[in-house]
């Protein structure tokens, strides 16, 4: 899955003509390891993504727009100072290493022409971004390191920049046919072709080594032919950006079709390497960012949910004990009816249970330190206490179940949140409802309320989807019209969905698409077909005093649909 040297070589050849002369208009750092350059090129405005994370390091044009933090990091501020307004001269790949070097024409503080270099080292755990001045000194880097990998290489501001130490392997890119034959003659007995390729050459990924071995039939005799064909491919630039799909999900990518998996994996060709990498990483990176951003809020809300759940368990256990109150009342009345039989100091009363048809004998334990009347009064007091406790526990359990249901709904929305803005809305909602403590907020962190998600059906009708329970309430009680169609998954937490009907009868296709969106924006999106209820908005009511997102509805119909991510992306209003 990592970007190998050959794919990076092909990508560099693709980017070079598009980036030549491009002007940097904007520098953003949405994530610690992610840089986004807004460029003005001869082909129009483009966004260049540079990722220097320990996994997924890469450089390519992107159509994605990651959400930016409220305050830009210091490294981003430094890059803005030096790069905004700069023009890109060239982008190269030194010595076919897994790195790209961008030469820039800039101006210094005095307005004089200057040159700087932005180096993207895309080498696994050592991935880094380094800004270098005209004299070759490091201005700053994403990750400062002392003696990174060797005693001569130090990544600190003011130090001279040196390339990473090269691997002690033969370079496949500069190898002649004769040199390949000499290396093949030194193969150890019993060594597999893919292992030999990986151990002998730099720049070849494990996937490519396995592919060359597969195409050669596992024989070193025909391996030289496959290596020669690969060398020709490098010289001619005959590359095919290819994504490998397993069960419809991205598995890997390469610069040529991969045959080793047979029919188990589908090869999907892309027009460019930028489109390939953007599509491959988009879903995974989005899910990872979402997981990272929501982790703390999920932890806090789950703690609150678990505490309420434990309290409910205890209250239900107490409630079960109150169910024996009628037996206490019966014993109190039997004792009252048989007071003449009891003397002070007795430890029990044996009498007939006239509440039962056969009047069987019953034994009633007594406190020998109390009089018969005091024992009877104690039983009546216990009965009244259990009766009052039952009514009180019924209210507590109902409130606890209401809170637990709401928190489960909130957790579902947090897990489906698509950015810090939506998470901020959910934090505010949970604070206003009293489940989270109110925290002092910096002035720079003021959150603009997010609008509902908007979609347009194939029939041209607008669909609104709530992002939070507060927004669900707003959709249902303020934004919607009485004749609009309201949809929600049946017995599953999810967003409120509103189909704007403009006073007309909506087409069946629009209803089905709105129902599919309701299923997609629900807790059961991965559960196959879901039942979705729909009704006119006038049939939806919000109970007085209920928590956000809670409604009751009548006169509804039900439709079975599946959550369709592709449909959601297609109908989403830009």
Any domain includes 164 = no
Any residues with CB less than 8 A from the CB of 89 and at least 6 apart, and which? 20, 103, 104, 105, 115
In this prediction, residue 444 carries a pLDDT of 43
Return the pLDDT at 439: 66
The answer on 294 and 221 residing in a single domain is no
Cα 202 from chain centroid (whole Å)? 35
Whether 313 and 333 share a structural domain: no
- The answer to whether residue 477 is domain-embedded is yes
How many CA atoms within 13 Å lie on the side-chain side of 470?
15
In a domain, 161, yes or no: no
Q: Note whether 432 and 377 are within 8 A (CB).
A: no
Inside any domain, residue 109: yes
CATH number at residue 68: 2.30.310.10
- Residue 239 DSSP one-character state: -
Which residues, in sequence order, are bridge partners of residue 269? 242
Mark whether 108 and 35 lie in a shared domain. yes
Burial string for 330-349 (b: 16+ CB within 10 Å, else e) reads bbbbbbeebeeebeeebeeb
| Residue 551 burial (C-beta neighbours within 10 Å; 0-12, 13-18, 19+) | middle
Regarding whether 303 and 331 lie in a shared domain, the answer is no
CA distance 429 to 100: 45
Q: Who contacts 519 (Cβ-Cβ below 8 Å, separation ≥6)? A: 489, 494, 525, 530, 532, 561, 562, 563
Residues 120 and 23 in one domain: yes
Does 504 share its domain with 423? no
Query: Using CA atoms, how far apart are residues 373 and 546, in angstroms rounded to an integer?
Result: 47
**pLDDT tens for each residue of 109-151:** 777 889 999 999 998 788 999 999 999 999 999 998 876 555 5
Domain assignment of residue 526, yes or no: yes
Structural domain of residue 134, as residue ranges? Answer: 5-141
365: enclosing H helix or E strand: strand 361-365
d(CA 182, CA 195): 17
Residues 461 and 563 in one domain: yes
Candidates 393, 432, 394, 423; CA nearest to 547 is 432
Query: Which stretches in the chain have pLDDT values below 70?
Result: 1-2, 147-152, 283, 286-290, 419-420, 439-449, 574
* 129 and 204 both lie in a single domain: no
Q: What is the pLDDT of residue 443?
A: 46
CB atoms within 10 A of CB 560: 13
User: Helix (H, G, I), strand (E, B), or coil: what is residue 31?
Assistant: strand
- pLDDT at site 440: 56
> Would you say residue 165 lies in a domain?
no
* 127 and 254 housed in the same domain: no
Per DSSP, the three-state class of 39 is strand
Q: Are residues 272 and 298 in the same domain?
A: no
**Structural domains of the chain, count:** 5
Q: What is the pLDDT of residue 441?
A: 54
| Its pTM surpasses 0.75 | no
If asked whether residues 436 and 457 sit together in one domain, one would say no
Q: Is residue 376 part of a domain?
A: yes
Would you state the pLDDT for residue 236?
87
**pLDDT value at residue 140:** 94
Lookup: tokens for 113: 């022409």
- 295 plus 244 within the same structural domain: no
- H-type helices in 216-324, by residue range? 220-236, 273-322
Half-sphere exposure of 546 (CA within 13 A, CB side): 16
* DSSP string covering 520-574: HTBTTTTSSEEEEEEEEGGGEE--TTPPTT--EE-S-EEEEEE--HHHHHHHB--
For residue 162, being part of any structural domain is answered with no
């Amino acid at each position: 899955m990592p970007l190998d040297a050959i794919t990076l070589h092909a990508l560099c050849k693709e980017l070079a003509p598009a980036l030549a002369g491009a002007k940097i208009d904007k520098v953003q750092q949405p994530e610690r390891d992610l840089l986004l350059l807004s460029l003005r090129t001869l082909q129009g405005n483009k966004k260049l993504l540079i990722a220097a994370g320990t996994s997924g390091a890469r450089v390519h044009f992107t159509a994605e727009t990651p959400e930016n933090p409220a305050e830009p990091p210091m490294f981003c501020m430094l890059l803005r100072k030096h790069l905004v307004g700069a023009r890109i001269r060239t982008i190269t790949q030194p010595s076919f290493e897994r790195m790209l070097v961008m030469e820039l024409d800039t101006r210094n503080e005095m307005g004089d022409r200057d040159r700087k270099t932005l180096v993207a080292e895309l080498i696994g755990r050592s991935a880094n971004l380094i800004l270098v001045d005209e004299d070759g000194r490091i201005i700053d880097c994403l990750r400062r390191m002392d003696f990174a990998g060797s005693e001569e290489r130090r990544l600190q501001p003011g130090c001279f920049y040196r390339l990473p130490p090269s691997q002690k392997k033969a370079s496949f890119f500069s190898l002649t046919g004769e040199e390949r034959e000499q290396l093949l003659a030194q193969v150890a007995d019993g060594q597999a072709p893919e292992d030999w390729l990986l151990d002998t050459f730099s720049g070849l990924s494990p996937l490519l080594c396995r592919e060359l071995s597969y195409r050669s039939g596992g024989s070193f005799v025909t391996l030289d032919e496959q290596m020669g064909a690969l060398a020709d491919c490098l010289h001619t630039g005959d590359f095919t950006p290819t994504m490998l799909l397993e069960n419809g999900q991205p598995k890997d990518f390469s610069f040529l079709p991969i045959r080793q998996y047979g029919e188990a994996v589908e090869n999907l060709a892309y027009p460019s390497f930028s489109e390939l990498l953007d599509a491959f990483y988009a879903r995974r990176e989005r899910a990872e960012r979402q997981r990272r951003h929501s982790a703390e809020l999920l932890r806090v809300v789950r703690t609150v949910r678990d505490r309420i759940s434990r309290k409910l368990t205890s209250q239900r256990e107490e409630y079960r004990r109150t169910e024996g109150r009628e037996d206490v009342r019966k014993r109190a009345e039997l004792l009252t009816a048989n007071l003449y039989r009891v003397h002070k100091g007795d430890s029990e009363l044996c009498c007939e249970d006239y509440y039962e048809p056969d009047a069987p004998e019953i034994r009633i334990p007594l406190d020998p330190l109390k009089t018969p009347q005091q024992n009877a009064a104690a039983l009546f007091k216990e009965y009244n206490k259990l009766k009052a406790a039952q009514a009180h526990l019924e209210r507590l359990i109902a409130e606890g179940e209401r809170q637990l249901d709401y928190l489960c709904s909130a957790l579902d929305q947090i897990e489906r949140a698509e950015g810090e803005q939506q998470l901020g809305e959910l934090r505010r909602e949970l604070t206003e409802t009293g489940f989270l403590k109110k925290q002092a907020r910096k002035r720079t962190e003021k959150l603009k309320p997010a609008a509902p998600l908007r979609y347009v059906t194939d029939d041209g009708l607008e669909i609104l989807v709530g992002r939070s329970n507060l927004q669900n309430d707003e959709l249902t009680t303020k934004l919607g019209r009485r004749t609009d169609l309201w949809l929600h998954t049946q017995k599953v937490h999810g967003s409120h969905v509103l189909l704007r009907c403009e006073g007309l009868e909506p087409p069946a296709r629009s209803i089905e698409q709105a129902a599919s969106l309701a299923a997609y924006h629900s807790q059961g999106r991965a559960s196959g077909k879901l039942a979705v209820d729909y009704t006119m908005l006038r049939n939806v009511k919000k109970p007085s005093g209920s928590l956000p997102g809670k409604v009751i509805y009548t006169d509804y119909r039900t439709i079975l649909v599946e959550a369709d991510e592709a449909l959601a992306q297609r109908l989403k209003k830009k």
